[in-house]
Amino acid sequence: MTSSYVGRFAPTPSGYLHFGSLVAAVASYLDARAVGGRWLVRMEDLDPPREVPGAQRAILETLERYGFEWDGAVERQSERFPAYASVIEQLLRSGLAYACTCSRKQLEDFAGIYPGFCRDAGHTRDDAAIRLRVPELEYRFVDRVQGEVCQHLGREVGDFVIQRRDGLYAYQLAVVLDDAWQGITDIVRGADLLDSTPRQLYLQELLGLSQPRYLHVPLIVQPDGHKLGKSYRSPPLPAEQAAVPLTRALRALGQRPPAELAEGSAGEALAWGVAHWDATRIPRCATLPEESL
């Protein structure tokens, strides 16, 4: 990897940053800066009804307080809706996508694998979701931490939604288009997104986009097994003594910071992380219990 590296951190403003968010931010930041690469911040504000007022500002203020410095302007997915709409029209015209009127009730017995009820129904777009047809093929990639990942799209996923019934755009479509638009070469994010990556690989292939490298870090989970997240009311990051959670995040990522690093500044903690970053030390697992860190 060289300075052509472009990474990103893409939080959802449905709440404030918590320790799990910090681990992902630290991993993506250090992986970029350790090779002299660029690090971008993008707001994944695709779902206005779920957005917490003031969360975008609070997220950026927290990143600044914790010593993160990003390159360029902060991009927002809410400003990219015309680009998403254009691609969906293209996919519909080519027959690669179709309108789906299935309700959640109709699909609840299929374990999240779409059975294809609307595939050849010829529905209009009125009051319908848009699904992408998937091939009966296995997609595989090598994650830099988790190793080889394989998924048969037809058997394990089925045709998936790229625009919701309420008109909002789906994450799978938006993330692929925005990563390509921003020239992202390396995606570093939480392991909860590992199994959605083959869908993104398929979209990249379909649209003629380059494939970035992937690194999925373990999720930090609570004692009940739920990941730290906004929906489980995880506490926001403290405003003071940022070096303490930063040092803890370094340990979660398998790095070996000296204990005294927690007594310094946020900038010192990140500088140490950049100088000593070793992605091969990241634990090869999907989750890490918070109480073990």
Residues annotated within the binding site are: 8-12, 44, 100, 102, 114, 118, 171, 189, 230
| 60 contact partners, CB below 8 Å, separation of at least 6 | 41, 74
Determine contact, residues 76/45, Cβ cutoff 8 Å.
Answer: yes
DSSP state of 48: G
Q: Is the dihedral angle over the CA atoms 188, 203, 82, 102 positive or is it negative?
A: negative
| Binding-site residues from annotation for L-glutamate | 8-12, 44, 171, 189
The span from the CA of 191 to the CA of 220, in Å, is: 10
Determine contact, residues 277/31, Cβ cutoff 8 Å.
Answer: yes
E strand segments, 13-128: 38-43, 75-76, 97-100
Report helix, strand or coil for 176.
Answer: helix
Please give the structure tokens belonging to residue 111: 């374990």
Please give the structure tokens belonging to residue 191: 């392991």
| Binding-site residues from annotation for Zn(2+) | 100, 102, 114, 118
Per-residue buried b or exposed e for 73-90, using 16+ beta carbons within 10 Å of the residue's own CB: eebebbebeebbeebbee
| Binding-site residues from annotation for ATP | 230
